[in-house]
């Protein structure tokens, strides 16, 4: 790619040239109050996040562990929705023109809005890509084309159980970066196996030059640094959502989230 | 809905990717794909294997107690004043409902897979009991996910599952009902996929579940077709079955789909009335969307969030429906109607009093519609109603409505 019209591509290109690893952070839009989400996003960036995955709350988040499920439930109590997520990105963009933001969620809210309306709205809001958890490669082609036509990126998951044949198929569709799920299980699970991460990232690397980020089971700076040794970055979600959930108010949530992200940033850069 | 010009080969569905027209598919996280591939490959291999089929047939005959009778309900027919009403007596199966046809079949698959643990989701508890039953028989560990609200509403079935050696896990997330139990069972499966087989209880979920649950339940329709020819010398004029996820209905309908003269009615739970919005009738009042691994009709709000459903019957209290039903609706092969709580309760009482058969509240929805339908038909015509389960489990619900403490 030569032009780098997309912020995700620009960000990974910059990180590569600096020899740094990406820190990808996930929060649930509207968790802790819709009015506080944009502030929290700016805090993520200030503390060292390179890319924000904004979770779109869904009533039935099938792939999430208990921590992120509760985040979705809290956000839904605050009346968060896909439409409001798009508005949050637009608001975020007024003060941050460069940090990439992707929407991570489930297929049904997009189906309801209509895939083309969604792709247009994501582009108009200043979003950079989407990760739709329950839209595996064989069901993702129509949305993928709509996103690609707008220079938006489509992030796919790969797992320890994904066959070589599927890796080839998925990386053909994937853009922006590839999200490697480090373990069998739901978000927030604890059994990280670094040998398996190494082995699988090496396997995936044979199929794609896209940046590889590793998520699931990353709890602190040490685990973030360890998983990103063979890849291009680490994704952290559950510990941040947990911090938001346990905080008494928005200011406390910002402090706690900022401290966790800051510690991870230092570990990754050390 | 316009009729297609050339006959549809219903046996060719789902396609290789699990689609029934625009419905079905595999809308799951990548973490589940390899497990679904493994299941699909195993099922493709076994479904035409004579040894596997013989083992299934043996269990249906000797463990489930099949064939189930096709019973002419004479006094009910008289009361309706029209077509003859025949009841396909799935309530007489071991464990008291059609659910066991599927769990016996999936248990054989579990055994073949070599996995030592089975899990299931359950609403009213019937599928949980049927799963715990086959797990006990095969010596498999068993965990059943059940919404915390349903655990409270269905305590006899909870205790039955425990007696059978299953662990019943109350689900506290979301609306704490069947849909959340299914989410939680999926999460368990993703985490423990190496040693765990997931026995889904209805024709929903990701491919190949809608297909294999249908195939195992199709014994209902195959028997009913043969029994109709033997007992009244022709095919039925109409079939009626209740539809929650839709496994008993598809089991009855599927072997008749190519018989154009046979009309079919799927009866959804109308709750307080479809017009009130408080119901569980996505085929009457829902829109296509994606939930639990397949595209189908759903009950959802303007933002695509799944909404709570309402029905007196816990087994029909589900916001989605099997994708094959969604397709059969759109191509016009099956008509989907609704019976309200009140109508189902009235049918429950009427069947009990006229025939001495206590139907499940789920099946009572089918009976309620059959009574209306029969009245519009001639006395020389025949309706087959799937009496999918017995009502013993529901006596506490009915007693509570009557203000009686049992």
CB atoms near residue B245 (< 10 Å): 28
Query: Domain total for chain A?
Result: 1
Other residues' Cβ atoms within 10 Å of the Cβ of residue A230: 18
Using pLDDT thresholds of 50, 70 and 90, give the confidence band for residue B405. Answer: confident
Q: Would an 8 Å CB–CB cutoff place A189 in contact with chain B?
A: yes
Distance CA A249, CA A260 (A): 17
**Alpha-helix runs per DSSP H in chain A:** 7-18, 34-47, 66-77, 82-93, 107-113, 115-125, 137-149, 164-173, 194-205, 221-228, 238-246, 250-269
Q: pTM of this prediction?
A: 0.96
Locus of tokens 């959502």: A241
Residues B46 and B180 in one domain: yes
Verify whether the Cβ–Cβ distance A157 to B30 is below 8 Å.
yes
- Does residue A244 form part of some domain? yes
A112 touches chain B (CB under 8 A): yes
Q: Is residue A1 part of a domain?
A: no
Dihedral sign for Cα atoms in the order B26, B29, B33, B39: negative
For residue B299, give Cα distances in angstroms to A125, B102, B119, B249, B286. Answer: 29, 26, 26, 20, 5
Residues B35 and B147 placed together within one structural domain of the fold = yes
Cβ burial of B195 (10 Å; 0-12, 13-18, 19+) is exposed
Nearest to B303 among A60, A82, A138 (CB): A82
**Bridge-partner residues for A75, per DSSP?**
none
Q: Does B183 touch chain A (CB under 8 A)?
A: yes
Rounded-to-integer distance, Cα B253 and Cα B325, Å:
10
Instruction: Indicate the residue of B28, B30, B298 with minimum beta-carbon distance to A162.
Output: B30
Task: Pick the closest to residue A103 from A153, A60, A53, A147 (CA basis).
Answer: A53
- Tell me, yes or no, if B172 is annotated catalytic: no
Query: Which residue among B176, B193, B213 closes a domain?
Result: B213
Q: Is B259 helix (H, G, I), strand (E, B) or coil?
A: coil
Would you say residue A264 has pLDDT above 50? Answer: yes
Active-site annotation holds for B121:
yes
Number of domains making up chain B: 2
- The verdict on B248 and B310 lying in the same domain is yes
Pairing mode of beta strands B196-198, B23-27: unpaired
Q: Taken in order B198, B201, B202, B203, is the CA torsion positive or negative?
A: positive
Token pair 């989230």 is found at A257
Residue A174 near chain B (CB below 8 Å): no
* Stretch A97-117: mean pLDDT: 98
Size of interface A-B (CB pairs under 8 A): 120
Question: Which residues span the domain enclosing A76?
Answer: 7-269
Q: Which of B90, B121, B223, B324 is catalytic?
A: B121
Pairing of strands B19-20, B141-147: unpaired
Q: Are residues B348 and B209 in the same domain?
A: no
Domain of residue B168 covers: 19-60+99-213
Query: B216-233 as b/e, with b when 16 or more CB fall inside 10 Å?
Result: bbbbbbebbbebbeeebe
Both B226 and B290 in one domain: the answer is yes
Same domain for B228 and B249, yes or no, is yes
Q: Say whether both B342 and B239 belong to one domain.
A: yes
B386 belongs to a structural domain: yes
Which class for B2: exposed (0-12), middle (13-18), buried (19 or more C-beta within 10 A)? exposed
Task: Assess contact for B219 and B213: CB atoms under 8 A.
Answer: no
> Tokens representing B280?
């569980």
Question: Does B190 lie at the interface with A, CB-CB under 8 angstroms?
Answer: yes
Helix (H, G, I), strand (E, B) or coil at A54: strand
What value does the mean pLDDT of chain A take? 95
For chain B, the helix, strand and coil percentages under 3-state DSSP, each to the nearest 5: 50, 20, 30
Residue B4 to residues B93, B188, B332, Cα–Cα distance (Å): 37, 42, 9
CB-closest option in A61, A106, A162 to B34: A162
**Do residue B190 and residue A139 have CB atoms under 8 angstroms apart?**
no
Sign of CA dihedral A70, A74, A77, A79: negative
Q: The CATH number of the domain where B183 resides is what?
A: 3.40.50.1100
pLDDT computed for residue A2 by the predictor: 52
Which run of H or E residues covers position B355? helix B341-355
> Measured between CA atoms, how close is B21 to chain A, in angstroms?
14
Q: What residues of A are in contact with residue B289 (Cβ under 8 Å)?
A: 108, 111-112
Same domain, residue pair B316 and B303 = yes
* pLDDT above 50 for A1: no
Nearest to B34 among A107, A156, A163 (CB): A163
The three state secondary structure string of A195-246 is: HHHHHHHHHHHCCCCCCEEEECCCCCHHHHHHHHCCCCEEEECHHHHHHHHH
For residue range A45-78, list pLDDT tens digits in order.
999 999 999 999 999 999 999 999 999 999 999 9
Q: Would you say the C-alpha torsion A140, A16, A120, A41 has a positive or negative sign?
A: positive
Q: Does the CB of A161 have a partner CB in chain B at under 8 Å?
A: yes
- B228, B113: one domain: no
A112, B289: Cβ pair inside 8 Å?
yes
* B108 neighbors B70 (Cβ within 8 angstroms): no
**A187 occurs within a structural domain:** yes
User: Who among A108, A166, A185 is closest to B289 (CB)?
Assistant: A108
Looking up tokens 């059969």, which residue turns up?
Answer: B328
**Gap between the Cα atoms of B265 and B325, Å rounded:** 11
Average pLDDT in the A102-120 region?
98
Residues of A in contact with B31 (CB under 8 A): 63, 157, 159, 161, 181, 184-185
pLDDT reading at B220 higher than 60: yes
By the CB < 8 Å criterion, does B357 face chain A?
Answer: no
Cβ(A44)–Cβ(A52) below 8 Å: yes
Residues of A in contact with B288 (CB under 8 A): 111
Mean pLDDT of A137-141: 95
CB contact at 8 A, B280 and B269: yes
pLDDT at A192: 80
What tokens were used for B239?
């079939």
**Which of B184, B268, B388, B393 does the annotation list as catalytic?**
B388
B175 confidence band (pLDDT: 50, 70, 90): confident
Q: Are B390 and B99 in contact (CB under 8 A)?
A: no
Residue A41 has pLDDT above 70, yes or no: yes
Q: Which residue has the tokens 């359950």?
A: B122
How many Å lie between the alpha carbon of A17 and the closest alpha carbon of chain B?
31
Q: Looking at the structure, do residues B154 and B290 belong to the same domain, yes or no?
A: no
Q: What is the mean pLDDT of residues B263-284?
A: 97
Residues 6+ positions from A86 with CB-CB distance below 8 Å: A103, A121, A122, A125, A127
Q: Would you call B29 and A136 a contact, using CB atoms and an 8 Å cutoff?
A: yes
Residue of A nearest to B29 (CA): A134
Which residue, B147, B182, B213, sits at the end of a domain? Answer: B213
Six token digits for residue A73: 């439930």
Residue A79 has pLDDT above 80, yes or no: yes
Neighbours of B250 (CB within 10 A): 28
Give the pLDDT band (50/70/90) at residue B7: confident
DSSP one-letter code for B348: H
For residue B190, give the nearest of A76, A110, A186 by CB distance: A186
Query: Cα(A269)–Cα(B24) distance, rounded to whole angstroms?
Result: 46
In this structure, chain A runs to a length of 270
Clarify whether residues B267 and B195 are in a common domain. Answer: no
Task: Mark yes or no for CB contact B304/A110 under 8 Å.
Answer: yes
Q: Choose one of B166, B198, B213: the last residue of a domain.
A: B213
B302 contacts chain A (CB < 8 A): yes
Is the CB of B292 less than 8 angstroms away from the CB of A62? yes
On whether residue A204 sits in a domain, the answer given is yes
Check CB contact of A163 with chain B, cutoff 8 Å.
yes
Q: Which residue has the tokens 């007693």?
A: B399
B6 occurs within a structural domain? no
Q: Does A3 have pLDDT greater than 80?
A: no
Residue of B nearest to A59 (CA): B305
Please answer yes or no on whether B28 and A62 come within 8 Å at the CB atom.
yes
Q: Which residue has the higher pLDDT, B273 or A189?
A: B273
- Burial class from Cβ neighbours inside 10 Å (0-12, 13-18, 19+) for residue B117 reads middle
Report the candidate in A237, A228, A256 with the shortest Cα–Cα distance to residue A65: A237
Is residue B14 in some structural domain?
A: no
> Is B223 annotated as catalytic?
no
User: From the candidates B99, B115, B179, B393, which is the catalytic residue?
Assistant: B99
Q: How far apart are CA A191 and CA A168, in angstroms?
A: 27
Ramachandran quadrant class, A188 (left: phi over 0; alpha: psi -120 to 50; beta: rest): left
Contacts with B114 (C-beta within 8 Å, 6 or more apart), sequence order: none
DSSP designation for B280: B
Q: What is the mean pLDDT of chain B?
A: 96
Contact B33 A166 (CB under 8 A): yes
Distance from CA of A46 to the nearest CA of B (A): 31
Residue B391 lies in a domain: yes
Task: Determine the pLDDT at residue A185.
Answer: 79
Count other C-beta atoms under 10 Å from residue B45's C-beta.
11
**In this structure, what CATH number is given to the domain that contains residue A101?**
3.20.20.70
Query: Does B155 contact A at CB distance below 8 Å?
Result: no
The predicted model gives A84-104 an average pLDDT of 98
For A162-178, write each residue's pLDDT tens digit: 999 999 999 999 999 99
Select from B183, B194, B304 the Cβ nearest to the Cβ of A108.
B304
CB distance from A164 to chain B under 8 Å?
no
- Of chain B, the percentage scoring pLDDT greater than 90 comes to 92
Token match 């360890």: residue? A226
Select from B187, B194, B205 the residue whose CB has the most chain A CBs within 10 Å, as the one to mutate to test that interface.
B187
């Amino acid at each position: 790619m030569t032009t780098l019209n997309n912020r995700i591509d620009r960000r990974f290109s910059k990180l590569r040239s600096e020899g740094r690893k990406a820190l990808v952070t996930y929060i649930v839009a509207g968790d802790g109050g819709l009015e506080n989400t944009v502030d929290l996003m700016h805090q993520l960036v200030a503390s060292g996040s390179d890319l924000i995955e904004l979770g779109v709350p869904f009533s039935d988040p099938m792939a999430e562990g208990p921590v992120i499920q509760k985040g979705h439930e809290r956000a839904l109590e605050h009346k968060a929705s896909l439409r409001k997520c798009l508005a949050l990105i637009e608001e975020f963009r007024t003060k941050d023109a460069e940090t990439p933001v992707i929407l991570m969620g489930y297929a049904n809210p997009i189906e309801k809005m209509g895939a083309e309306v969604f792709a247009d709205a994501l582009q108009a809001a200043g979003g950079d890509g989407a990760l739709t958890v329950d839209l595996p490669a064989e069901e993702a082609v129509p949305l993928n084309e709509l996103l690609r036509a707008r220079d938006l990126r489509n992030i796919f998951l790969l797992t320890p159980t994904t066959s070589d044949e599927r890796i080839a198929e998925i990386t053909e569709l994937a853009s922006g970066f590839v999200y490697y799920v480090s373990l069998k299980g739901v978000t927030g699970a604890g059994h990280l196996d670094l040998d398996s991460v190494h082995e699988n990232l090496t396997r995936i690397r044979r199929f794609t030059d896209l940046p590889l980020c590793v998520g699931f089971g990353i709890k602190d700076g040490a685990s973030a640094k360890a998983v990103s040794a063979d890849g291009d970055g680490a994704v952290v979600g559950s510990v941040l959502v947990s911090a938001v959930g346990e905080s008494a108010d928005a200011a406390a949530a910002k402090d706690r989230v900022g401290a966790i992200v800051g510690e991870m940033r230092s570990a990754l850069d050390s | 809905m316009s009729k297609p010009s050339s006959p549809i080969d219903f046996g060719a569905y789902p396609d290789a990717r699990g689609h029934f027209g625009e419905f079905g598919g595999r809308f799951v996280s990548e973490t589940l794909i390899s497990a679904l591939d493994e299941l699909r490959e195993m099922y493709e291999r076994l479904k035409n294997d004579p040894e596997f089929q013989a083992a299934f047939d043996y269990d249906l005959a000797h463990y489930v107690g099949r064939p189930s009778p096709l019973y002419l309900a004479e006094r009910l027919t008289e009361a309706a004043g029209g077509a003859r009403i025949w009841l396909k007596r799935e309530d007489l199966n071991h464990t008291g409902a059609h659910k066991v046809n599927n769990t016996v079949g999936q248990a054989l698959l579990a055994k073949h897979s070599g996995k030592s643990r089975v899990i299931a989701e359950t609403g009213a508890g019937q599928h949980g009991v049927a799963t715990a039953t086959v797990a006990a028989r095969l010596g498999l560990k068993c965990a059943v996910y059940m919404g915390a609200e349903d655990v409270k509403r269905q305590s006899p079935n909870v205790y039955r599952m425990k007696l059978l050696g299953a662990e019943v896990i109350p689900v506290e997330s979301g609306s704490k009902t069947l849909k959340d139990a299914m989410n939680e069972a999926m999460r368990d499966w993703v985490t423990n996929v190496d040693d765990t087989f997931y026995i889904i209880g209805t024709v929903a979920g990701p491919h190949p579940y809608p297909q294999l649950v249908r195939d195992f339940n199709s014994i209902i329709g195959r028997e009913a077709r043969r029994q109709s020819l033997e007992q009244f010398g022709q095919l039925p004029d109409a079939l009626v079955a209740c539809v929650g996820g839709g496994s008993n209905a598809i089991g009855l309908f599927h072997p008749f789909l190519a018989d154009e003269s046979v009309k079919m009615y799927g009866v959804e739970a109308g709750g307080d009335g479809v017009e009130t919005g408080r119901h569980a009738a996505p085929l009457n009042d829902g829109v296509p969307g994606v939930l639990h691994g397949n595209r189908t009709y759903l009950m959802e709000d303007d933002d695509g969030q799944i909404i709570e459903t309402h029905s007196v019957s816990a087994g029909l209290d589900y916001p989605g429906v099997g994708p094959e039903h969604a397709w059969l609706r759109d191509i016009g092969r099956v008509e989907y109607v609704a019976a309200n709580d009140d109508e189902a309760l009235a049918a429950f009482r009427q069947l009990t009093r006229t025939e001495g058969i206590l139907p499940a509240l789920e099946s009572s929805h089918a009976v309620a519609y059959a009574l209306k339908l029969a009245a519009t038909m001639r006395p020389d015509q025949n309706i087959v109603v799937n009496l999918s389960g017995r009502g013993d489990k529901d006596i506490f619900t009915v007693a509570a409505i009557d203000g009686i403490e049992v």
